[in-house]
Amino acid sequence: MTMNNKRVVRIIAIVLALIMLFSVFMIALNAITAQAAVTQAEIDRLRAEKKEYERKKREIQSRINTIEFEKMTEIARKEVLDDRIMLTGLEIDNIVETIELYVTLIIEKELEVVAAQESEDEQLRKYKNRVRDMEENGVISYLEIIFDSTDFSDLLARLDFVGDIMQADENMYNDLIAAREATIAAEERLKQTKLEMEEEKRLKELKQAELEEQLDEATALIAAIEANLESEKALRAEVEADEEKIQREINQKVEELRRAQELARAKAASATANRVRGTGQLKWPVPSNGAVTSGFGMRMHPVYKVYRQHSGIDIPAKHGANVVAADTGTVITSAYNSSYGNYIVVSHGNGMTTLYAHLSSRKAKEGATVTKGDVIGLIGSTGVSTGPHLHFEVSVNGTRINPLYRL
CA distance 261 to 349: 10
Question: 406, 329 in Cβ contact below 8 A?
Answer: no
**Sign of the C-alpha dihedral computed for residues 12, 18, 23 and 28 taken in this order:** positive
pTM over 0.95: no
239-272 tens-digit pLDDT: 778 888 888 888 888 888 888 877 776 665 444 4
Percent of the chain at pLDDT > 90 equals 27
The H-or-E segment that residue 308 falls in is strand 307-310
Q: Which stretches within 138-291 are classed as H helix? A: 140-147, 152-226, 229-266, 270-275
Q: Give the separation between CA 202 and CA 98, rounded to whole angstroms.
A: 13
140-184: pLDDT as tens digits: 455 565 556 666 565 566 556 555 556 666 677 777 777 788 888
DSSP assignment string, 90-123: HHHHHHHHHHHHHHHHHHHHHHHHHHHHHHHHHH
Mean pLDDT by 10 residues, the chain (407 residues): 49 48 48 56 86 89 83 83 90 91 86 84 76 60 59 59 61 74 85 91 93 89 73 74 86 84 65 61 83 82 59 91 94 91 93 94 93 94 88 92 89
